[in-house]
Amino acid sequence: MSTRGQDPVAATVERVVAHLREHGHRITMPRRAVVDTLARAEGHPTVEQIAADVAERWPGMHLTTVYRTLETLAELGVVTHVHLAAGTAYHLADPASAGAGTHHVHAQCRSCRRVIDLPDGILDGVRRELAASEGFALEPHHVALSGLCRGCAATG
Amino acid sequence: MSTRGQDPVAATVERVVAHLREHGHRITMPRRAVVDTLARAEGHPTVEQIAADVAERWPGMHLTTVYRTLETLAELGVVTHVHLAAGTAYHLADPASAGAGTHHVHAQCRSCRRVIDLPDGILDGVRRELAASEGFALEPHHVALSGLCRGCAATG
DNA sequence: TTGCTGTTGCGAAGGGGTTGCAGGAAGGCG
DNA sequence: CGCCTTCCTGCAACCCCTTCGCAACAGCAA
């Protein structure tokens, strides 16, 4: 609660807002709301979860608006998405990489649906192998790997 | 066209039919139709493609039936599916593995949507690594990897 | 051949996401 | 400061894919 570094969420929102403005987009409350929610979010919320979260603080905001806002933010590279076995999850792009595309790799538990982040280089070996043998340019961050997390593997 | 090895498609259909019968399921024309289509299919058709293909030879077959048939075949382990970035693809399980679960790994080109098969062990290293570091039990065959195939990587 | 029971076809409903349109607000400009 | 243009939002209808309920049909065993 000191002066510097105060409220990282607000700082993130301002950063994104500035980015929007620079690219000729208008700053509206719904957009702030979505960015704010993403900045606060832990993990990788789906559109549905984002909308629910937004609705708690800014009631009346329409689901359509969430979709369109995410689309706009994605075009700017501010937001990244991952395809899960069911649905798509969104999260703010790594601030440091600001458009450089330093995403991380994701894995999703098919039982509890939780998403975990993996070190970025974990698929490097496979990527090289695929490039050499198949000429396939793997994009490791676009789709989540599937499996069972520690907890679910133990229980189930 | 000799006596032995004649029409591998028919042979596959008969094998699956026998499997169905063994498990107390009835042999119907729609089921033969779906299996036949899958046996003929190159690649990894979606429900839509399967239905279209079936409709050409057995007009009047309802889409619902395709879904239900695939579901039945999947329960028997005769059919496997992969989640793609958009949609789900079905294919006959590896005959040799007949229920043993020896699936292969898939990768999908995000540009041309083609699916390519990869050697089963290509993710073994990653699987071991994830198991050790995260306790995550990777299931390599359940979701397709994403990237660009040789052709699209060159063109685009 | 007869009868039981699993399957099919159909219509309708459900869920998720997208699109078109008219009103409303952001922000540039006078 | 206030107007005006343009973009954005809210709403509702729509579309696509999948599943469900029900009545009729057809395997297959006896």
Residue A99 in any domain: the answer is no
Residue A2 has pLDDT above 80, yes or no: no
> Tens digit of pLDDT for each residue in A14-65?
999 999 999 999 999 999 999 999 999 888 899 988 999 998 888 889 999 9
Q: Is A17 helix (H, G, I), strand (E, B) or coil?
A: helix
Specify the CATH number for the domain of residue A125: 3.30.1490.190
Residue B5 in any domain: the answer is yes
Residue B99 in any domain: the answer is no
Cβ of A107 within 8 Å of Cβ of B146? The answer is no
Q: What is the mean pLDDT of each run of 10 residues along chain B (156 residues)?
A: 67 95 96 95 90 90 96 93 85 63 79 86 93 92 90 82
Distance A28 CA to C26 C1' (A): 8
Query: Would you place residue A101 in the very low, low, confident or very high pLDDT band (cuts 50, 70, 90)?
Result: very low
pTM: 0.84
pLDDT number for residue A127: 94
Pull the structure tokens for residue B115: 């699916």
Name the residue range of residue A45's domain. 1-93
For testing contact with chain A, the best of B111, B120, B136, B150 (most A CBs within 10 A): B136
pLDDT number for residue B79: 93
Specify the higher pLDDT residue, A99 or B105.
B105
Nearest CA in chain B to A150: B135
Using a CB-CB distance cutoff of 8 angstroms, which residues of chain A are in contact with residue B123?
126
Q: Is the CB of A64 under 7 A from strand D?
A: yes
Cβ of A143 within 8 Å of Cβ of B142? The answer is no
Does A19 lie in the same domain as A70? yes
pLDDT number for residue A98: 45
Distance A88 CA to C18 C1' (A): 15
Cβ of A118 within 8 Å of Cβ of B134? The answer is yes
Using a CB-CB distance cutoff of 8 angstroms, which residues of chain B are in contact with residue A130?
107, 118, 122, 145, 147
Neighbours of A115 (CB within 10 A): 19
Residue A142 has pLDDT above 90, yes or no: no
For testing contact with chain B, the best of A143, A148, A150, A155 (most B CBs within 10 A): A143
**Boundary of a domain, candidates B70, B93, B116:** B93
| DSSP symbols for chain B | --STT--HHHHHHHHHHHHHHHTT----HHHHHHHHHHHH--S--BHHHHHHHHHHHSTT--HHHHHHHHHHHHHHTSEEEEE-SSSEEEEEPPGGGTTS----EEEEETTT--EEEE-GGGGHHHHHHHHHHH--EE-TTSB-EEEE-HHHHHH-
How many structural domains comprise chain B?
A: 2
Give the residue-averaged pLDDT of A59-83.
Answer: 91
Specify the CATH number for the domain of residue A42: 1.10.10.10
**Boundary of a domain, candidates A93, A115, A136:** A93
Residue B128 in any domain: the answer is yes
Does A79 lie in the same domain as A108? no
Residue A117 has pLDDT above 80, yes or no: yes
Give the residue-averaged pLDDT of A117-131.
Answer: 91
